[in-house]
Structure 1
Amino acid sequence: MLRGTLESQTSFTHPFDSIRIGKLKSPDGKFRVFTWNIPQPGGYQKYFGLMQVKNPDGTIRLIELIDSRKRITDAKNEKLTANRWMAALYYQLVQFPTANGNAYILLGYDFNNLFTSKKIIDVLTFDSQGNPTFGYPVFNVDGKYRLSRILFEFNARVSMVLRYNEDRKTIVFDHLSPSSPEFAGDFQYYGPDGSFDGFKLEGTEWVYVRDLDLRNPRRSKPKPVNAPVDIKEPGFLYQPNKYSTKK
């Protein structure tokens, strides 16, 4: 039913306020994206997405996004298409400039499974044919890594802050650490450690910044956990169990 409605050329300006799914529209009016999920047996999730894209002649094209999380092996670097989508429930969109025109940050949530949840910072661009492409190497981590998307994984029973702060021009997020050094790289033991990091927009790239001072007295500070002091890389660079010392 939703697909049929969105295929209508007159639907682009309809707010769809009564539909309880993710709905975002780009500030430049180029596209809208709708995302939702259906729980599966065993605590897993299936995600669905539809994107309305406005063509240069003003007509509207509807594009389906295909959940392909299980087939993506290098999430931090792969450039993906609508048929190969790093699925998530999108809840915030940020437009920013690049050398090739506007690009768009998409912040999303993935319930994943019974043990871990994920949050994602993805980048949406459009190719010369107007087709959506996900992933763009704009995340500068210490001048050492240039990543196309950022993926966080953490214990399913805790919550993680990931939001764009317009005043700071920064994507702010909880720094995630394991509950004990021996669990480094095992994300079901990860949670916020009381500090915040971010990606700050500088020109056409997002630069990683550590230990942001948010000074928000309304938010209680979580109890810190013992992060492994011998691991210098931020948690979103970890490979599952790569650093684990468990026998």
Structure 2
Amino acid sequence: MVKRILLSLFLLVNSLYTFAQLPDAAGLKQLRKMQDSLQYLSQEIFSGKGNDGRLQATDDFIPLLVRALKVKHSFRFPFDSLKTVSILYPQDSAFRIFTWALEKENGFYRHYGAIQMKTPDGQLKLFPLFDASDFMTNTDTVTDNKSWYGCLYYNIIHKRYFNQDYYTLFGWDANNPRSQKKIAEMLTFKNGAPVFGGPFFSFVEDSVRKPTQNRFIIEYKKESTATLNYNKELNMIVYDHLISETNEPMKKFTYVSDMDYEGYKWQAGKWVHVNKIFNDAIPLGKGAPVPQPLIQKKKSMTNPKSVDDYQAEEGSNPGKKPAKKQR
């Protein structure tokens, strides 16, 4: 009985605290008005005509977003009408991360983003993210927000180890006209500032050990699809094993899924590689499957899909069980 009363009091206090963190009426009115302008600009960034128009929309969007976030207690305002901007909160709601992409006329992409921290007084604490991926000669590195590996995040997983918080980010980079990428990397905070990457992707249990990686990236054919995401049922990161469909392993734009799966399991504060997750491999002599083509008009900038997502939409599922397939 006492436990129930204490639990009820805790939930009541927590709900009152959450309510207290909402903007006041004037703040909400201001945020809704700015959200309308941000929605228009975000659509112009995504589908506006020409490089100049999309760049101008981006230049207008960023300062307006910052002004909106400066409204006290804006952290709880969802900005849910911004359909081409990914906005993710971790399970502990310690921060939220905004990311979006600008497609250039040459088929290459530039990414933008920001991390808004949750603050006790509702004042803005913001870390802008500057895409430095085009200038990275070594992608397996640890970076800060000023040299971010730009991508559009579609999931975030919170883990704790020895009282340290670890946030695994899953991102999509439309990359260029020939290939696309998916990225898994760890986000931590040092002295209150974000750190991207770190020695968290281990191959210690592999028969042939590879060096621990600071960031895990798969690159594959533009018209193909591939999985890289956290699978809640398995409590693992699951991703497609990729092969070159033309037997040219140096050309990443020829890579497609062979419908086999690898992964990582969380172990002692690291993601430890698992070479094979499912045992239902392709029958001998069947060869690699023809990749599901990516229909450009169906693409989503905030929800990149796996092959099973497309198959489910078409009402078929010739591969594995959907529950095992993650983006």
TM-score normalised according to structure 2 size: 0.63
> Which of 59, 65, 78 matches 2:129?
65
Matched position secondary structure for 1:87: coil
Q: Which runs of 4+ in 1 moved over 2 A?
A: 54-60, 221-225
Whether 1:200 and 2:269 are equivalent positions in the alignment is no
Shift of 1:69: 0.4
Bigger CA drift: 134-143 or 156-165? 134-143
Matched position secondary structure for 1:32: strand
Question: How many residues matched?
Answer: 217
Distance 2:156 2:287 in 1: 27
**Structure 1 or 2: more helix by fraction:** 2
Distance 1:88 1:191 in 2: 20
Task: Specify the alignment match of 1:166 in structure 2.
Answer: 232
Matched letter for residue 154 of structure 1: Y
C-alpha contact (below 8 Å) 1:120/1:151 kept by paired residues: yes
Shift of 1:142: 3.8
C-alpha contact (below 8 Å) 1:136/1:149 kept by paired residues: yes
Task: Specify the alignment match of 2:172 in structure 1.
Answer: 109
Task: Specify the alignment match of 1:233 in structure 2.
Answer: none
Shift of 1:135: 0.4
Distance 1:49 1:81 in 2: 13
Distance 1:139 1:158 in 2: 25
> Max radius of gyration: which structure?
2
Matched letter for residue 45 of structure 1: Y
Whether 1:151 and 2:151 are equivalent positions in the alignment is no
Give me the identity figure in percent.
32
C-alpha contact (below 8 Å) 2:157/2:168 kept by paired residues: yes
> Which of 177, 181, 201 matches 1:139?
201
TM-score normalised according to structure 1 size: 0.82
Shift of 1:57: 6.3
Deviations 1:99-154 (A, max 9, x none): 461010000000000001010001100011x1101001111124532111101111
Name stretches of at least 5 consecutive residues in structure 1 with no aligned partner: 216-220, 226-247
Whether 1:13 and 2:76 are equivalent positions in the alignment is yes
Distance 2:199 2:213 in 1: 5
Matched letter for residue 166 of structure 1: K
Query: Relative CO higher for 1 or 2, CA cutoff 8 Å, sep ≥ 6?
Result: 1
Name stretches of at least 5 consecutive residues in structure 2 with no aligned partner: 1-63, 281-285, 291-327
C-alpha contact (below 8 Å) 1:199/1:207 kept by paired residues: yes
Task: Specify the alignment match of 1:184 in structure 2.
Answer: 249
Matched letter for residue 190 of structure 1: Y
